[in-house]
Amino acid sequence: MRKAVYPGMFDPVTNGHLDVIRRGSVIFSGLIVSVGCNPLKQALFSVEERMEMIRHNVKDFKNVEVDCFEGMLVDHLAKRGTNIILRGIRTASDFEYELNRALTNRVFDKNAETVFVMASEQYLFLNSALIKETASLGGNVSKFVPPDVERGLMQKFKRLQRKNTT
């Protein structure tokens, strides 16, 4: 039995991510959802906010934990005592991006293995950027994210809108 790390930005976590987490928790003996702190990728939610939203929504999965990491993913894997990375694939463009990342990780640690799950049909089109754009325009995202994430998005955009008007 092996544990795996599921890394990502999760800005914010969507029902698509939660579907991957649920399925990963069945495949592996333990799953660590690791929120990336990447200075090159500007996030709407802080690392703490992203971790809290994931924790809230995985509390029923007993073998899932949530942490964060900065720097190289392979170093984080070593710290967490595993060489397995879980990632999801939605489209052909995801495949090219993910293949690139998987091969790059293997350059830095030849034992790093990436395991992919294919997105479920209902989440094929779902990504965090689309959710943020929809929420920023006042669209209803309740079908795509859990209720606490929807509330978080509404608060962020109200706050940003308020900032812009002062």
Catalytic site residue from 80, 90, 101, 156: 90
Decide if residue 16 touches ligand ADP (CB under 6 A).
yes
Backbone angles phi, psi at 144, to 5 degrees: -110, -20
Question: Nearest Cα to 57, choosing from 27, 76, 93, 33?
Answer: 33
20 lies in the binding site for ligand ADP (CB under 6 A): yes
Determine which helix (DSSP H) or strand (DSSP E) holds 4, and give its type and residue range: strand 3-8
Rounded Cα–Cα distance for residues 33 and 68 (Å): 8
Of 73, 76, 123, 145, the one binding ligand ADP (CB under 6 A) is 123
Least CB distance from residue 25 to ligand ADP, whole Å? Answer: 14
- Supply the DSSP symbol for 120: P
Q: Does 114 bind ligand ADP (CB under 6 A)?
A: no
Catalytic site includes residue 46: no
The catalytic residue among 17, 50, 76, 132 is 17
Query: In the bound complex, what is the minimum distance in angstroms from residue 2's beta carbon to ligand ADP?
Result: 18
DSSP, res 124: T
Q: Under the criterion CB under 6 A, does residue 127 sit at the interface with ligand ADP? A: yes
Cβ-contact 82, 2 below 8 angstroms: yes
Per residue, what are the HEC states of 36-49? EECCCCCCCCCHHH
The verdict on 128 binding ligand ADP (CB under 6 A) reads yes
Contact positions vs ligand ADP (CB under 6 A): 8-10, 14, 16-17, 20, 87-90, 94, 119, 123, 126-128
Q: Which residues are catalytic?
A: 17, 41, 90, 128
